């Protein structure tokens, strides 16, 4: 480059020597260059012909082509790169020659040389493109013959030219250095091409080809099937990448190339490096935290921060070094601008000073690019690790929390810790270095300003400090608003989580709109803080966008006061410095806001870590075989609430030997379940000892089923033992059920077992316990949810059969199961009042007598002369069909995620499909709907206008300063100093007000849009049919309500705005640079084209990776929500470690696409930075090459000032475009849920029933046919019957006979396929859903209570007085219990009613219907969770208060339906029998008579 400026005389001497020395014409440069140019033109034609031939023959060689798809060309990569290098080399020579001839005058030789170099550039570029796009997939074994011939000629011509150069050199003729260099390079490359042409052939090799700057589709294995699961086995190429690959991010190329060729799926994404996975990072972090605080429970925020820092200190220090390097290199440009302007003004310090300046500018830019890219990537890498370890720690804590702690922090809140707080702390690493970098950048700025403006730099410092001080009140406001916003969000998520869990009961009771209004109220509270937060943000934006202009005005004003001369070079240097200084000042409010938000998140997580865990010393575990006793409790006193004066369990003493069966019985709320919980170590111990010898298994009263296959639920982490598995299925009556299911035990169960009935869930839960082959089994009334004969079968086959030699403790309300026990514990008010064998305690106390007496009373209702002995086997022929197609909602709600891989992901027809995600480009309709949501998009043009005006005024003010100030001290200024400053201030103030308008309008639009989208999505979710909730795990809905809504609230408005604003700024820079030198467009246009091509090449992968991030997040949330609800079961099976490992795998699954998103982004940005640096270098070379004073030095300096930001802004535009498309996916996901098919109308104004309807309560069913989805078989197959008004009808039938489906159809949770249900003359399908559901009452199978108070649970619609509520409580036997509580009706109810027993919850449900007093009442297994005595009380209450109502009862206890006026017996969706109980019992061959006989036989035998 230095030789470019060699004297004009040298060149002329060279040409004259050739002319005058008599040298042959063939030695003349004009011939050599002309022949070379023609030769390269021929190459272009040859390549074109080859390309056309390839297109014509492409159809013929399809079969052969397939064979070579995964092959690699030996030296192919080097050939392609070498061709590209030769093209780039010739382009450089072409540009240098252009400037040389432009400066020194044109000649014939010059034009021919330039033409030759241009043709060489095009030809070699075409060779590279041809090799890359065509030859990589060719079936030929060698390079094309014409190409190899051409390479031979090229080498020959290059050698000839070099020989000419050497001959002339030996004759002591001075040659231009670029000619000699060109010929040497041509010979060397020609030699390489000759070698490749002769020896280069193809060899099969199944590998990725990685190109340093571009990884195209040619470098990929096209055999998708063989690589189907490569993401699961392949570790990221980053782990083994070389230094060049790491520097240029080429290791990310193969993945981007796959994404360009096909839609990325998770299996395409490679595994994380072990150091980046949570498995690798967690142990180091945990040991660091424990060394700080001893135990996690004593952790403080400071300790947590220290542990996070020291676990990543090497990476943090390295990124700090990169940040420092970036800061220093970014200030090189402003430092040299004054020197550059003076150079253009004719003040040359030494020869070729211009090219030295250009070189320094370019090197600084490259260092700036490399350091920034690697800084950004490394901090994201650290952030991913930090987020992952925090999620793992939060999960582990959630698994060990005590029940009291859990009541204070619901699953919704803890989900927020994982989805929001841990995410934010991970994101904070972006801002980690900003606080100290501000100081470094201000110091560097002051040095440059002092060099140019002397003491005026002091004013700059003062102005900067003043602006920064303005941060303090703004930051404190933001922290306060952020804190309140998070609290409000927690409350909303907590309520949302609970509502989604209990959506079925809300729809049955017609409460969903009331609870939606509750969510909207919580959201209104949240948006109140959100509005304050975004408006504070707008003020902050105004202050700091205006900061550089304010600092400039103060600085230049001080210069005038001090008499410091303002020259254009010094002003431009100062302006460039202020522009760079803008970044730390502008980012400072973001940094402070982020620090505030992160501190809030750290405090929240720390306070969560400090919550009480389960007491580790509750149980003394003895090694297996070390004791004759399996369980021993001595003087045990336990309490769920240690602060309560009344203990839950008192004076507990009993011993259980190995192999004993122990039954626990007692009335509702007596402490039976609490006794099992204390054996599990769940209840805090006040005094006494518990000893346990052997492993344990637990079956909870409320079934806990995981989402997943039935087989996975039964195995529960154990290896498959087929023989044992089959025995367990047989014992639990599951075999026939699995045969009916199309997928057998591979059927996917919905969230919380939503597609199973209570009995089915319970049997799977029992099967899980049996398969564990534990020593001690704890059963919490598992037989209440199954029908009578299934309960008998389970008891006989499981407890007496498979578990005959095991220690079993079972809680039961069924007295008939008590005689089989070796020991019976009778509980009352938290104490064991009686213990012993059945006959021993029968006459020794009143408590047991009450239970047995109640049972006898229930049996006395059976008017049956002789209890016939009926063999169970004959009765069990239809036992337990696992809801089969009858109860399983196999509706395919969402489109399959992987259309071509359904058999891998999960068979079509399963209830729960993989989460739907859109594919391909985010549609313009998504952007349009987002932009036009608020005010129809009316504010968008105003926001853009404000930004355009700001840009015009900014450029105008800088242009004014460059033009109106003198170039040097001895030049006359065009205008006076005062006028110079006044005009500048006026333009600056105008631009500041534009920013204020823009920021306020953007905040308003973003806030309004977020609010409207939230309301629309939630309305659609609450109005969705029940089938949507059955098939959609709540994690997916919560993800949208939490993470995606947060993005719409706080990120997306600014992301969309940033793209528009940066694009406007880029256009402004292009305008300024083209004003000075239009020639910049020669390079600028192709560079922009390449940038756009890169962006198009990158965006398919980035888009799908961003979608995968969203899709991979839901399983983490869902798994965590399931773990929290089933933590007792998990701990009882000692499966904590397995669940923690699963969580870590899911967390890594989420981190995988996140890591590659970061890598792919930097892959793109690095290439864009390099391209923009080329543009900048070209413009500088042009400016130093033009003759002196051709261009105004001041304006040229202004172009350079703006050009310094070109690479940043060019990359910023593309980065914002990609990031916007990634972020807008949150809007896309929310919009998905705004188009869910809705239920029928809640109210039909034109067809509303009278207020008194139903007055009689007659229910008529006509030819009712029901199926759950159009493609599924009928569940109810033409029922016709009549339920007389005011009468009681019992519905019985085996599991899966269609009982629950009939009730769901009555309430229109499922719409009939044909037929009608008519209540008091009105077809229920013709009226609104709320009109129907609000007039009917139901006590559901799963008793549900909501977090709140007793009053809000009984009367959520606030329709009744306190007196009416107390009356209802007394009627349902809960009045005394509630009066004992401190808050009476305002007593707190924990999430899911955890602080109330199952029986008490069932009584609350009874209380609700007593308040409602509907004419039609449905009881769906309503007394399953209560003892026989309480069941009798409930039946008595119902008889007393609903004597004139239509009562429809589904019951497993035969006694519950025996006093009905009519019994309906269903079988496989058809009515098998329908008559009064008396008539059915008279016919001893009737199915109903057989059921009663079996129940009676079993019960009577227990009382003998």
For the stretch 23-75, pLDDT in tens is 455 556 666 677 777 777 777 777 777 666 665 554 444 333 333 333 334 45
Q: What angle do CA 208, 211, 217 make, to 5 degrees?
A: 60
Question: Helices (DSSP H) in 471-546: which residue ranges?
Answer: 471-501, 503-509, 512-545
**Is residue 945 predicted with pLDDT exceeding 90?**
yes
Cα(1405)–Cα(1339) distance, rounded to whole angstroms? 6
| Mean pLDDT score, 456-484 | 81
The pLDDT assigned to 55 comes to 58
- Higher model confidence: residue 195 or residue 239? 239
Q: What are phi and psi of 401, to 5 degrees?
A: -65, 145
The pLDDT assigned to 501 comes to 83
Q: Which helix (H) or strand (E) holds 881?
A: none
- Higher model confidence: residue 1094 or residue 590? 1094
The pLDDT assigned to 943 comes to 92
Are 1318 and 1310 in contact by the 8 Å Cβ rule? The answer is: no
| Mean pLDDT score, 69-87 | 61
Dihedral-angle region of residue 1070 (phi above 0 means left; psi in -120 to 50 means alpha; beta otherwise): alpha
pTM above 0.75, yes or no: no
Q: What angle do CA 648, 653, 656 make, to 5 degrees?
A: 120
- Higher model confidence: residue 1139 or residue 141? 1139
Cα(549)–Cα(555) distance, rounded to whole angstroms? 10
Dihedral-angle region of residue 1308 (phi above 0 means left; psi in -120 to 50 means alpha; beta otherwise): left
**DSSP states of 1313-1344:** SEEEEEETTEEGGGS-HHHHHTTEEEE-SS--
Give 88's contacts (C-beta < 8 A, 6+ positions apart). Answer: none
The pLDDT assigned to 209 comes to 32
The SS3 assignment for 635 reads strand
Crossing angle for the helix pair 1136-1185 and 1080-1125, to the nearest 10 degrees? 170
Are 1007 and 531 in contact by the 8 Å Cβ rule? The answer is: yes
Within 10 Å of residue 290's Cβ, how many Cβ atoms?
Answer: 15
Where residue 1077 falls among pLDDT bands split at 50, 70, 90?
low
Are 1263 and 1278 in contact by the 8 Å Cβ rule? The answer is: yes
Are 1421 and 1350 in contact by the 8 Å Cβ rule? The answer is: no
In this structure, the strands spanning 1470-1475 and 1336-1339 are: unpaired
Cα(1105)–Cα(1098) distance, rounded to whole angstroms? 11
| Mean pLDDT score, 142-160 | 75
Least confidently predicted of 656-670, 747-761, 1275-1289, 1334-1348: 747-761
| Mean pLDDT score, 866-873 | 32
| Mean pLDDT score, 1146-1153 | 88
Where do the DSSP E strands lie in 611-770?
619-622, 629-638, 649-657, 661-666, 685-693, 696-699, 708-709, 748-749
Q: What are phi and psi of 1334, to 5 degrees?
A: -75, -20
The pLDDT assigned to 655 comes to 87
Q: Which helix (H) or strand (E) holds 703?
A: none
Cα(595)–Cα(407) distance, rounded to whole angstroms? 30
| 108: exposed, middle or buried (Cβ count in 10 Å: 0-12, 13-18, 19+) | exposed
Cα(714)–Cα(705) distance, rounded to whole angstroms? 10
Within 10 Å of residue 729's Cβ, how many Cβ atoms?
Answer: 22
For the stretch 506-552, pLDDT in tens is 888 888 888 898 899 999 999 999 999 988 888 888 877 777 778 88
**DSSP states of 1271-1327:** TS--SEEEEEEEE-TT-EEEEEESTTSSHHHHHHHHTTSS--SEEEEEETTEEGGGS
In this structure, the strands spanning 1322-1323 and 1314-1319 are: antiparallel
**Is residue 818 predicted with pLDDT exceeding 80?**
yes
What is the DSSP code (8-state) at residue 201?
B
HSE-up of residue 429 (Cα within 13 Å, Cβ side): 27
The whole-chain average pLDDT of the chain stands at 77
**Is residue 588 predicted with pLDDT exceeding 90?**
no
Q: Match 């083994």 to its residue by tokens.
A: 240
**Is residue 364 predicted with pLDDT exceeding 50?**
yes
Summary count for the chain: helices (H), strands (E):
58, 26
Cis-peptide, bond into residue 1254, ω within 30° of zero? yes
For the stretch 280-331, pLDDT in tens is 888 888 888 887 777 777 778 888 888 888 888 888 899 999 999 998 888 8
Within 10 Å of residue 198's Cβ, how many Cβ atoms?
Answer: 13
Which of 1086, 1084, 1185 lies closest to 97 in space, CA to CA? 1185
**Is residue 370 predicted with pLDDT exceeding 60?**
yes
The pLDDT assigned to 900 comes to 30
Cα(1227)–Cα(931) distance, rounded to whole angstroms? 11
- Cα separation values, 162 from 155, 184, 691, Å: 11, 7, 95
Are 345 and 967 in contact by the 8 Å Cβ rule? The answer is: yes
The pLDDT assigned to 875 comes to 28
For the stretch 1003-1016, pLDDT in tens is 999 989 999 999 99
Q: Match 């970061």 to its residue by tokens.
A: 1158
Structural tokens at position 154: 């090229």
Alpha-carbon 418 to chain mean position = 11
Q: Match 């065509």 to its residue by tokens.
A: 134
**Is residue 148 predicted with pLDDT exceeding 50?**
yes
**Is residue 733 predicted with pLDDT exceeding 70?**
yes
Within 10 Å of residue 955's Cβ, how many Cβ atoms?
Answer: 20
Cα(1199)–Cα(628) distance, rounded to whole angstroms? 91
Cα(754)–Cα(761) distance, rounded to whole angstroms? 9
The pLDDT assigned to 1202 comes to 73
């Amino acid at each position: 480059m230095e030789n470019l400026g060699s004297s004009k005389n040298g060149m002329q001497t060279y040409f004259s020597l050739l002319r005058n020395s008599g040298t042959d014409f063939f030695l003349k440069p004009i011939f050599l260059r002309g022949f070379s140019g023609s030769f390269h033109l021929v190459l272009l034609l040859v390549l074109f012909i080859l390309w056309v031939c390839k297109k014509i023959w492409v159809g013929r060689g399809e079969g052969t082509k397939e064979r070579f798809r995964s092959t690699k060309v030996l030296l192919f990569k080097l050939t392609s790169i070498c061709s590209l290098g030769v093209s780039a080399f010739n382009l450089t020579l072409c540009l240098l020659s252009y400037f040389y001839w432009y400066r020194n005058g044109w000649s014939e030789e010059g034009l021919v040389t330039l033409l030759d170099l241009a043709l060489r550039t095009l030809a070699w570029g075409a060779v590279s493109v041809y090799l890359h796009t065509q030859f990589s997939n060719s079936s030929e074994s060698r390079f094309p013959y014409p190409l190899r011939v051409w390479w031979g000629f090229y080498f020959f011509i290059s050698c000839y030219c070099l020989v000419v150069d050497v001959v002339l050199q030996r004759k002591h003729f001075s040659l231009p250095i670029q000619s000699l260099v060109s010929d040497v390079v041509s010979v060397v490359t020609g030699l390489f091409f000759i070698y490749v042409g002769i020896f280069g052939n193809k060899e099969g090799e199944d590998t990725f080809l990685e190109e340093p700057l571009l990884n195209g589709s040619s470098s990929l294995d096209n055999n998708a099937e063989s690589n189907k699961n490569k993401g699961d086995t392949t570790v990221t190429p980053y782990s083994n990448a070389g230094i060049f690959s790491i520097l240029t991010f080429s290791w990310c190329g193969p993945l981007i190339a796959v994404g360009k060729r096909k839609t990325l799926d998770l299996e395409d994404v490679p595994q994380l490096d072990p150091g980046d996975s949570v498995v690798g990072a967690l142990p180091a972090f945990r040991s660091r935290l424990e060394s700080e605080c001893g135990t996690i429970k004593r952790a403080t925020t400071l300790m947590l921060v220290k542990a996070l820092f020291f676990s990543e200190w090497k990476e943090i220090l390295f990124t700090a070094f990169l940040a420092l390097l970036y800061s220093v290199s970014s200030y090189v440009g402003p430092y040299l601008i004054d020197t550059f302007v003076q150079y253009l003004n004719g003040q040359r310090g030494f020869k070729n000073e211009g090219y030295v300046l250009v070189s320094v500018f370019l090197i600084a830019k490259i260092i700036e690019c490399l350091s920034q890219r690697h800084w950004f990537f490394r901090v994201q890498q650290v952030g991913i690790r930090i987020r992952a370890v925090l999620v793992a720690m939060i999960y582990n804590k959630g698994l060990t929390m005590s029940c009291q702690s859990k009541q204070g922090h619901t699953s919704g809140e803890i989900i927020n810790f994982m989805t929001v707080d841990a995410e934010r702390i991970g994101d904070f690493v972006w801002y980690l270095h900003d606080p100290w970098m501000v100081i470094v950048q201000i110091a560097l700025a002051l040095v440059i300003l002092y060099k140019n403006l002397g003491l005026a730099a002091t004013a700059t410092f003062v102005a900067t400090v003043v602006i920064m001080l303005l941060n303090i009140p703004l930051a404190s406001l933001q922290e306060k608003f952020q804190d309140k916003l998070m609290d409000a969000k927690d409350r909303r998520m907590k309520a949302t989580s609970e509502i989604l869990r209990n959506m079925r009961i809300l729809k049955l009771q017609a409460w969903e709109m009331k609870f939606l209004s509750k969510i909207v109220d919580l959201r209104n509270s949240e948006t109140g803080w959100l509005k304050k937060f975004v408006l504070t943000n707008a003020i902050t934006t105004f202050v700091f966008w205006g900061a550089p202009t304010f600092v400039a005005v103060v600085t230049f004003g001080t210069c005038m006061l001090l008499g410091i001369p303002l020259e254009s070079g010094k002003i431009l240097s100062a302006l460039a410095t202020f522009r760079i200084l803008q970044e730390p000042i502008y980012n400072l409010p973001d940094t402070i806001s982020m620090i505030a938000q992160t501190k809030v998140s750290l405090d929240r997580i720390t306070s969560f870590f400090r919550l009480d865990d389960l007491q580790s010393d509750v149980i003394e575990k003895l090694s297996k075989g070390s004791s004759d006793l399996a369980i021993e409790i001595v003087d045990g006193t336990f309490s769920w609430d240690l602060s309560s004066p009344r203990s839950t369990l008192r004076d507990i003493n009993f011993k259980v030997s190995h192999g004993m069966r122990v039954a626990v019985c007692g009335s509702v709320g007596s402490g039976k379940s609490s006794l099992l919980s204390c054996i599990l170590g769940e209840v805090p111990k006040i005094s006494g000892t518990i000893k346990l010898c052997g492993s344990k298994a637990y079956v909870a009263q409320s079934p806990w089923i995981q989402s997943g296959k039935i087989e996975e639920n039964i195995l529960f982490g154990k290896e498959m033992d087929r023989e044992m598995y089959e025995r367990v299925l047989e014992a639990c009556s599951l075999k026939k059920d699995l045969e009916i299911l199309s997928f057998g035990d591979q059927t996917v169960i919905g969230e919380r077992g939503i597609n199973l009935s209570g009995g089915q869930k319970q049997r799977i839960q029992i099967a899980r316990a049996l398969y564990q082959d534990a020593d001690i089994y704890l059963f919490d009334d598992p037989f209440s949810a199954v029908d009578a004969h299934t309960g008998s079968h389970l008891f006989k086959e499981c407890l007496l059969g498979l578990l005959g030699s095991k220690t079993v403790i079972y809680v039961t309300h069924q007295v008939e199961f008590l005689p089989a026990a070796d020991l019976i514990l009778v509980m009352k008010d938290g104490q064991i009042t009686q213990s012993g064998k059945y006959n021993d305690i029968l006459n020794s106390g009143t408590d047991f007598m009450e239970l047995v007496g109640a049972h006898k009373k229930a049996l006395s209702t059976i008017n049956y002369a002789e209890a016939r002995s009926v063999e169970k086997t004959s009765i069990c022929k239809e036992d337990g069909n696992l809801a089969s197609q009858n109860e399983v909602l196999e509706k395919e709600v969402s489109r399959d995620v992987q259309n071509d891989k359904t058999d891998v992901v999960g068979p079509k027809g399963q209830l729960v499909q993989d989460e739907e995600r859109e594919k391909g480009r985010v549609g313009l309709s998504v952007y349009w709907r987002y932009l036009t949501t608020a005010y129809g998009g009316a504010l968008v043009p105003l926001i853009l206008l404000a930004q355009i005006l700001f840009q015009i005024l900014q450029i105008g003010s800088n242009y004014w300063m460059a033009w109106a100030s003198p170039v040097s001290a001895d030049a006359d200024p065009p205008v006076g100093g005062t006028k110079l400053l006044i005009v500048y201030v006026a333009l600056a103030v105008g631009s500041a007000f534009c920013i204020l308008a823009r920021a306020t309008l953007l905040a308003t639009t973003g806030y309004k849009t977020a609010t409207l989208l939230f309301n629309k999505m939630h309305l659609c979710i609450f109005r969705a049919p029940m089938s949507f909730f059955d098939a959609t795990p709540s994690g997916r809905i919560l993800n949208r309500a939490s993470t995606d809504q947060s993005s719409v609230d706080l990120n997306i408005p600014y992301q969309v705005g940033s793209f528009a604003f940066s694009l406007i700024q880029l256009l402004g820079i292009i305008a300024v640079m083209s004003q000075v030198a239009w020639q910049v467009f020669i390079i600028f246009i192709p560079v922009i084209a390449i940038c756009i091509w890169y962006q198009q090449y990158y965006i398919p992968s980035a888009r799908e990776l961003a979608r995968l991030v969203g899709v991979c997040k839901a399983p983490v949330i869902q798994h965590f929500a399931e773990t929290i609800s089933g933590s007792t079961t998990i701990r009882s099976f000692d499966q904590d470690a397995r669940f923690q490992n699963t969580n870590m795998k899911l967390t890594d699954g989420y981190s995988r696409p996140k890591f590659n998103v970061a890598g792919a982004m930097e892959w793109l940005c690095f290439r864009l930075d390099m391209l923009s640096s080329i543009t900048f270098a070209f413009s500088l070379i042009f400016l130093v090459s033009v003759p002196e004073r051709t261009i105004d030095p001041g304006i040229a300096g202004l172009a350079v000032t703006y050009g310094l930001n070109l690479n940043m802004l060019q990359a910023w535009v593309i980065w914002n475009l990609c990031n916007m498309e990634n972020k807008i996916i949150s809007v896309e996901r929310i919009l998905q849920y705004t188009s869910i098919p809705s239920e029928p109308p809640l109210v039909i104004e034109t067809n509303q029933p009278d207020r008194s309807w139903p007055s009689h309560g007659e229910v008529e069913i006509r030819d009712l046919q029901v199926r759950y989805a159009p493609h599924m078989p009928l569940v109810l197959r033409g029922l016709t019957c009549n339920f007389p008004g005011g009468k009681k009808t019992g519905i019985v039938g085996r599991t899966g006979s269609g009982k629950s489906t009939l009730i769901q159809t009555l309430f229109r949770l499922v719409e009939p396929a044909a037929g009608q249900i008519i209540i008091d003359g009105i077809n229920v399908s013709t009226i609104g859903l709320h009109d129907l559901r609000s007039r009917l009452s139901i006590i559901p199978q799963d008793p549900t209570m909501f977090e709140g108070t007793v009053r809000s649970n009984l009367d959520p619609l606030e329709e009744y007085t306190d007196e009416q509520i107390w009356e209802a409580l007394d009627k349902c036997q809960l009045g005394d219990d509630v009066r004992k509580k401190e808050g009476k009706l305002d007593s707190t109810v924990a999430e899911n009613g955890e602080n109330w027993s199952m029986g008490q919850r069932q009584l609350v449900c009874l209380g609700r219907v007593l308040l409602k007093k509907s004419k039609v009442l449905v009881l769906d297994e309503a007394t399953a969770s209560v003892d026989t005595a309480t069941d009798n009380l409930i039946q008595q209450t119902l008889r007393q208060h609903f004597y004139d109502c239509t009562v429809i009862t589904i019951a497993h206890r035969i006694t519950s339906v025996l006093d009905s006026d009519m019994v309906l017996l269903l079988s496989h969706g058809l009515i098998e029998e329908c008559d009064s109980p008396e008539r059915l019992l008279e016919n001893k061959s009737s199915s109903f008579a057989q059921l009663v006989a079996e129940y009676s036989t079993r019960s009577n035998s227990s009382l003998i």
